Chains A and B, each alone.
Chain A
Amino acid sequence: MNRREFCKKSLLIAGGLVVPLSALELFNPERLLAEKNDKSKTRWVFLVDTHKCVGCGFCVKACKTENEVPYDANVTRTWVERYVITNDGKAHIDSPKGARDGFQSAKLDQNHAGMEEIKEEDIAKAFFVPKLCNQCENPPCVQVCPVGATYKTNNGVVLVDRKWCIGCGYCIMGCPYSVRFFHPVYHVAEKCNFCYHRISQGMKTACVDACPFGARQIGNLKDPKDPVTKVIMNERVNVLKDEYGTKPQVFYIGLPREVK
């Protein structure tokens, strides 16, 4: 056999092997079975009643403790924003340390621009809005992950595989809600996962349990008897930034137009 023939034959064998092997990927039997009988009876969703939130920050504190996000690190899986709308229609917003310690000052923390004082008579309205991962139906973070380290479970929650994430930050860039960050200890992408370890064991999320006013609720959208489902179906609820086509699954009661 001369060199030319050798090259030809080895290419042929390699090519010949690729075809049957790729069939295994195309017709992955496990996946076919899973897609055929989608028995998932759960679609986790979240409901926030902004009228009930007082900005105490218990949810943020509970979340950080439960999910081992370093307490003093300036990142958080969930946070609360304070909105102060003045009479001229302008929105003044802040969230000092994600409201981990609540809002202890009447002045608004504008970061490098300092503390902003607003006279009481100038205030038209003020309210608090808790934020967390929207567990989107069409999650851009999952789409852009180059290695498939972040994925959507069949009950709708988006998870991150800490052993597989390469830390490129593309998912952080791709999220319109900026819920993602790099975990200061594990150095991989990190986000709210509705306390997946808790909800899959029949418990509620840490933030829901910590909220003294019932502003936060978690439910199963596929269960018509679930009180959260009833509210979402029957009441007037809204979602954040639906113009991005992400189909967010955190629903808000009384979401004012000023909310970013």
Chain B
Amino acid sequence: MVHGEFWTIKEFFVYPNEYIYWSIQIVMYPFMTGLVAGAFVLSSLYHVFGVEKLKDIARFSLVFSFALLPTAMMPLLLHLQQPLRGIEVMMTPHFTSAIAAFGIVFSTYGMIVAAEIWFVYRKFFVEAALALREKQNKTTLETLKSKLYPILTLGAWDISEHALEADERAVKRLAAIGIPVACFLHGYAGFIFGSVKANALWMTPLMPVIFICSAVVSGIALCILTYVITMELRKILYARKRKNDPALPTNDELKSVEIHVVTMTCKYLVMFLILAISLEILDLVFRTYTAVKSWDILRAVIYEKDFVKIFIMQYGLGNLVPFILLLSPGLTIRRAILATILVLLGVFMMRWNIVIGGQAFSASFSGFMEYVLPIIPHDMETFKEGLFGALMVIITPFVLFFGLSNIMPVFVNKSDTH
């Protein structure tokens, strides 16, 4: 069977070679990249602009952004017909293509985040390495860590006041460089779509800007959500462990979710949400008003075929409802959680409506194509570009984050200072 034939339903006249070639993984790509960029911007708000209230979430979102990083690349590799040749993008980049710069932008950004994390955690690495060196009767995990931490210090053992100040300056600088690079990483994902002149829905110069705004929205939403969930999970886990080891910190000593952190973060979320929606509406109004050749078929897709996906799921559930939830007075953590979940749904639907919606009509403007997401895989292709492939991409950052949080303390107890 031809690639794409399995999940494409054609209606009316569609050119013989047209199928939905860019499927769920290409929806995941901008979604995951957006989360990376958004999480980084959130952490930078504290490091660069010194928004003190975000101190708690800043360290968390920085590490989370690092855990998300590989999943920006994963969907691209999963959708390639020749995944083993993916490295060619780095080896023989063809710079007239928007995708060619991906390797460069992506690795630059990765290096910035890694360097920033190193500077933030250098003091901890040194202290942990020294403490483990002294310790007798190490467990297997501790032996492993006692080997790992000296490597992670990269030979920089100086943790004098002076050296730590230099670290802080470096963090600030890296975070400052990181913001434009993060925006570029994502704006560039928008450019990949916005510059396809053959696609009537994608081609608009607003695309990169819309992508950046919605990226920040989704990144902040996911950070709030994960922050609250992990904080609560930690309490439950500690409660269970405390039965055997009463020396562990009690629930009061563990820092719980602070409502002021959530409220503050949600304010930034709403700001970027307003910006994102305004741009999307502007795009829609402009298309309606100018009504160029492609408008007839686009109107059929937007207002008829994809009406539920666009107006109910994306704008309604994903934008309007969280907007009301977040702006009504007396924000509670539960309401914030519901709102962030809806915001994530909204941004995901926006990616879906652009990527799949852009292929929902034939380039002949005389027919439609519908994407049927493969659920039960029966071969590699339907696994990679089906529900399970997408779930794999979603789960990966959480697994990585769990691993990273075992090496680097993401959470701080009340008694700790940092």
Contact = CB atoms under 8 A, between A and B. Distances in A.
Interface of A: 73-76, 79, 81, 91-95, 97-98, 110-113, 131, 140, 142-149, 164-170, 172-182, 184, 187-188, 243-245, 260
B89 A93 contact: no
21 contacts: A73-B2, A75-B2, A75-B17, A93-B366, A95-B13, A95-B16, A110-B12, A113-B12, A144-B196, A145-B94, A146-B89, A148-B92, A164-B88, A166-B88, A167-B80, A172-B21, A178-B362, A178-B364, A243-B293, A244-B197, A260-B366
Contacts of A174: 196-198
A245 B366 CA distance: 21
B333 interface: no
A74 B81 contact: no
A182 B3 contact: yes
Contact of A166 (B12, B85, B96, B366): B85
B185 to A, nearest CB: 16
B359 to A, nearest CB: 8
Contacts of A75: 2, 16-17
| List of 7 A-B pairs having minimum Cβ-Cβ separation, nearest first | A167-B81, A148-B94, A260-B364, A146-B99, A111-B10, A93-B13, A176-B198
Contact of A147 (B18, B92, B199, B366): B92
Interface string B12-37: 11111111011000000000000000
Q: Interface on chain B toward A: helix, strand, loop, or mixed SS?
A: loop
B70 interface: no
A146 B17 contact: no
A75 B8 CA distance: 13
Contacts of A188: 81-82
Contact of A170 (B1, B12, B18, B97): B97
A187 B93 CA distance: 21
B418 to A, nearest CB: 29
From B94, B192, B367, B370, residue with most partner A Cβ within 10 Å: B94
Contacts of A245: 197
B11 interface: yes
Contacts of B3: 181-182, 184, 187
A144 B199 CA distance: 13
A80 to B, nearest CB: 10
B82 A166 contact: yes
A144 B99 contact: yes
Given A147-B92, A244-B198, A173 B14 contact: no
Contact of A145 (B17, B21, B97): B97
B198 A173 contact: yes
A94 B98 CA distance: 34
B294 to A, nearest CB: 10
B2 A147 contact: no
A121 B197 CA distance: 40
